[in-house]
Amino acid sequence: MQRNATTQYPLLLVHGLFGFDRIGSQEHFHGIRQALNNAGAQVFVPYLSAVQCNETRGEQLLQQIDRVLSGTGADRVNLIGHSQGALTSRYAAALASKKVASVTSVSGPNHGSELADILRQALIPGRLSEQVASAVATLFAEWLSLLSGHAGLPQNAIAALTALTTEGVKAFNGKYPQGLPDTWGAEGPELVNGVRYYSWSGTLQGSLLREGKAVLDPMHLCCRALSRYFTVEREQNDGLVGRFSSHLGKVIRSDYPLDHLDTLNQTAGRVRKEVDPVNLYVEHAERLQMAGL
């Protein structure tokens, strides 16, 4: 049956850390843009710094929102941000609410990431370990930008990591609290300053022996290994972000059986049987359409 996800406003898929729009035939949001297009949505993927603080990425996004509005004739956009892309989208919506109809956080660290806390603590400012890690991560980000055709974007790995820590996001939330829940683990207000807020995310579930073909995916194994470092949200995380830390606005669901990269439809997502990550985006576009967005 033909899906109908013809939203009133264009959709912008906003990538997170080490993200890109397209490298050759490989899209960061693998198969998602095409599925949304097939369902009638008008979709764009902004190109942003792969490693940078939320505010710098947010300013880049604001510039590209203006380009989309100018090119399409629309007066608003729907932002769907994955991981740090959720914080980037929240920044843009807070500063330009009249240009943003909705913000959807997908696996977004809206209260910070415990994993980022551990990494930040391990890299002592001014020490060689921090300098080497920063240089390697920044070079990798520059390489990704070069391959995607957007060389020259400013990259700062330490700024990005600090922005994703619990303290970093706490400071960010103090400036841009729109859509945040008042109580840990609850939902936030769905409508703030004319912008609707939504979120969804996943968690690692069950034993590895029950994962089927996902056990062959090195990125899924990596997420499982990293999940062991969580304490506050032990067994309630996707390997990079905690379940309740992801809550923003109307929580569609925060315990899909998906790891952090599954929600991008990356390798592990293509062999999932429990839930189709691509369909989640199409369903959400239909939800936005029904809401007049």
* SS3 assignment, position 91: helix
For 4, residues 6+ apart whose C-beta sits below 8 A from its C-beta are 39, 40, 286, 289
CA distances from 236 to 38, 135, 201 (A): 34, 32, 11
Query: Which residues carry out catalysis?
Result: 83, 238, 260
Provide the 3-class DSSP secondary structure of residue 44. strand
- 192 backbone dihedrals φ, ψ, rounded to 5°: -140, 125
CA distance 267 to 282: 19
Write b or e for each residue in 40-50: b if 16 or more Cβ atoms lie within 10 A of its Cβ, otherwise e: bbbbbbbbbbb
User: CB–CB of 261/221 below 8 Å?
Assistant: no
